[in-house]
């Protein structure tokens, strides 16, 4: 069967694609920017990649008419102050176009909406579900709460909090109940529901067997890791303070922290149903889900991470618009050194950032990341998803990967830290020479003042870094 996979560059999209290919489906991956999507060579015969933006009706003409089913995995949370309007517009355009195709079944992954009072985030999910259900196709809504898996936003936030804070003075929403579900179970529900008549024109809450408070989830993580942690809940932490608390302690952005805190005040507990039994899915408990997540992390097999999605930073353009580094009106720091072993140098470049660091004056990089975090930027806490692998669109600390081509021996990064302008960092090896170029396009007078104020540090940081990479 031919399946349209929207949100193919997202956390869930990247996870379900291998399963769909394994199940012999022909998959059409729908992305806004092909340059952000890296397709495994083994998938080429079964996967087609097309560009379409569901906020732009005219771009949807690239979607083939002969599709049989679709997964709607598009979310805009925290990318805009008015994300609800964007999500609703996307769903309307999707539904209208799908009604012109031969599609039989659409599956939407939304949120659990059983509480009488809903957050803005969950209200938006409900509005999208209602809009998608109006189509001429069969429709299934799977509603999930906290998803636990390597690279998921929920898991990484829990991980940040417990690993970094032996003692926590926490807001009262930590007493809110939720029903977490393992990412493996989510993928099973999605893949086994498509074209399954028992799921047609119905909605199902999906969750694991455990109903826990957020405090219990944090302490459960600590127990899994063999860590002793104490948590005190106080009623005086307002939503704003709670959002800042999450922002400074974890790798989340402030906008995402606000949305999460808003949602975490609402109970997300499933209404009972027999879908797991009907589909033959064995639900994984919270502790097992944590252990599976760490197995992937320890073996460096994390398939996708929320940190690589655009909502983890401030970059909201197509990558293709920034691949060609400008020359006019820019300040540059270009350095070239000879390289004896090109392969060894290339491996160092491909491991840059994250746990590896930046090879020289790491304390200055950490200081810059701390100052960026204080000013509302992303800081260094995102790290990177893989130690040795880099793909277009990935996050590397406070950089976004624009172009990563190992065969060409070229890596191009774009800065997502708070700066008065645009900044690029490029590494390129050619003819036994490594060229490292930092480019800054200032915005107004403050941009120029910024460049010249940090210029003295560039000599030490960039000079030391290129020498370490070349040796």
Assigned token pair, 270: 């499933």
Which of 359-363, 372-376, 407-411 is the least confident region? 372-376
- The predicted model gives 403-414 an average pLDDT of 90
The answer, yes or no, to whether residue 302 has pLDDT greater than 50, is: no
Q: In this predicted structure, what is the pLDDT of residue 306?
A: 47
Q: Residue 370 pairs with which residues in a beta bridge?
A: none
Q: In this predicted structure, what is the pLDDT of residue 68?
A: 96
| Closest to 279 measured CA to CA, from 381, 386, 187, 164 | 187
Instruction: Output the pTM of the full model.
Output: 0.74
The answer, yes or no, to whether residue 65 has pLDDT greater than 70, is: yes
Q: In this predicted structure, what is the pLDDT of residue 80?
A: 53
Question: 29 or 394: which carries more pLDDT confidence?
Answer: 29
- Percent over 90 (pLDDT), the chain: 41
- The predicted model gives 164-187 an average pLDDT of 88
- The predicted model gives 417-434 an average pLDDT of 90
Q: In this predicted structure, what is the pLDDT of residue 318?
A: 54
Mean residue pLDDT of the chain comes to 85
- Percent over 70 (pLDDT), the chain: 89
Contacts of 425 (CB under 8 A, 6+ apart): 399, 412, 413, 415, 436, 437, 438, 439
Environment class of residue 455 by beta-carbon count within 10 Å: exposed (0-12), middle (13-18) or buried (19+)? exposed
Question: 383 or 210: which carries more pLDDT confidence?
Answer: 210
- The predicted model gives 168-180 an average pLDDT of 86
What's the chain's length in residues? Answer: 471
Q: In this predicted structure, what is the pLDDT of residue 375?
A: 77
């Amino acid at each position: 069967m031919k399946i349209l996979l929207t949100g193919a560059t997202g956390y869930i999209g990247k996870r379900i694609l291998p399963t769909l290919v394994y199940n012999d489906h022909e998959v059409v991956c729908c992305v806004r920017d092909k340059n952000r999507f890296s397709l495994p060579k083994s998938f080429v015969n079964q996967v087609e990649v097309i560009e379409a933006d569901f906020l732009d009706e005219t771009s949807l003409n690239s979607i083939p008419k002969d599709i049989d089913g679709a997964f709607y995995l598009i979310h805009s949370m925290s990318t805009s102050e008015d994300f609800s309007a964007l999500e609703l517009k996307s769903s309307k355009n999707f539904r209208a176009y799908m009604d012109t195709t031969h599609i039989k079944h659409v599956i939407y992954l939304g949120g659990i909406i059983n509480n009488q009072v809903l957050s803005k985030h969950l209200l938006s999910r409900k509005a999208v579900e209602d809009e998608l259900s109006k189509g001429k196709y069969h429709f299934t809504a799977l509603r999930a709460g906290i998803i636990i898996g390597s690279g998921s936003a929920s898991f990484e936030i829990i991980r940040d909090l417990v690993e970094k804070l032996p003692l926590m003075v926490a807001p009262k929403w930590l007493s809110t109940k939720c029903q977490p579900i393992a990412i493996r179970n989510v993928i099973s529900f999605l893949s086994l529901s498509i074209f399954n008549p028992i799921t047609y024109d119905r909605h199902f809450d999906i969750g694991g067997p455990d109903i826990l408070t957020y405090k219990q989830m944090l302490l459960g993580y600590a127990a899994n890791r063999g860590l002793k942690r104490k948590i005190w809940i106080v009623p005086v932490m307002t939503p704003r303070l709670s959002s800042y608390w999450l922002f400074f302690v974890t790798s989340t952005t402030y906008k995402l922290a606000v949305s999460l805190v808003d949602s975490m005040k609402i109970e997300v507990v499933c209404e009972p149903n027999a879908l797991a039994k009907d589909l033959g899915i064995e639900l994984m408990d919270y502790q097992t889900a944590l252990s599976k997540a760490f197995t992937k992390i320890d073996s460096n097999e994390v398939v996708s991470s929320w940190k690589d999605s655009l909502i983890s930073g401030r970059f909201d353009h197509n990558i293709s618009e920034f691949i060609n580094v400008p020359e006019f009106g820019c300040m540059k720091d270009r350095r070239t050194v000879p390289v004896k072993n090109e392969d060894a140098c290339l491996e160092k470049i491909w491991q840059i950032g994250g746990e590896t660091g930046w090879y020289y004056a790491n304390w200055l990089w950490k200081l810059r990341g701390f100052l960026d975090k204080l000013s509302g930027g992303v800081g260094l806490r995102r790290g990177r998803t893989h130690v040795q692998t880099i793909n277009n669109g990935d996050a590397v600390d406070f950089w976004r990967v624009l172009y990563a081509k190992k065969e060409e021996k070229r890596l191009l990064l774009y800065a997502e830290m708070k700066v008065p302008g645009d900044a690029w960092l490029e590494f390129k090896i050619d003819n036994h020479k490594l060229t490292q170029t930092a480019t800054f396009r200032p915005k107004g007078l403050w941009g120029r003042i910024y460049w010249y104020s940090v210029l003295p540090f560039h000599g030490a940081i960039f000079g030391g870094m290129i020498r370490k990479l070349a040796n």
